[in-house]
Structure 1
Amino acid sequence: MFIIGRLLFYGVFFACHGRKQGYHSIKIEDRAYVEMNAIIIARKDEGTIIGENAVVGACTLVNKSIPEGATSMGVPAKVIG
């Protein structure tokens, strides 16, 4: 299941499996900003959430939730601000 707010650039990839496999949803909250070619992976133990007003840089691999208002970049994603 996807719950998407706004501001997704082209080439963003979502990787998740069904609930049968034990994976949860990906939620992108309002005013989150996900730049091009980012990859967001659903976690098996909990959902992956991109918090409100968070920024995910281009080509970032998100494998865990990003807190509200945080800026993250890298492979895997690291909060830098």
Structure 2
Amino acid sequence: MALMITDECINCDVCEPECPNDAITMGLTIYEIDPNKCTECVGHYDVPQCRQVCPVDCIPLHPEHVETHDQLMTKYRALTGKEN
């Protein structure tokens, strides 16, 4: 599953630099996660880094982008060109 940022986001700016896939960008009012780039940090880290640093816990799984670990790994490989 890709992650998403809810409207509880306080725009603290800590999540964006933590994303290894550059999936997090500033939207109109809050940060947003591009589900086509989000691998939940699979291939990079054991846990999603944005969730680790978020002070308000506003980054849940995105219910409209359900993906298995294997699908996330395939996306990681496509994004990075790495075989991990």
Task: Say yes or no: TM over 0.5.
Answer: no
Higher helix share: 2
TM-score interval (norm. to shorter): under 0.3
Question: Which entry has the higher C-alpha Rg, 1 or 2?
Answer: 2
TM-score with structure 2 length normalisation? Answer: 0.24
Of structures 1 and 2, the one with the larger relative CO (CA 8 A, separation 6+) is 2
TM-score with structure 1 length normalisation? Answer: 0.24
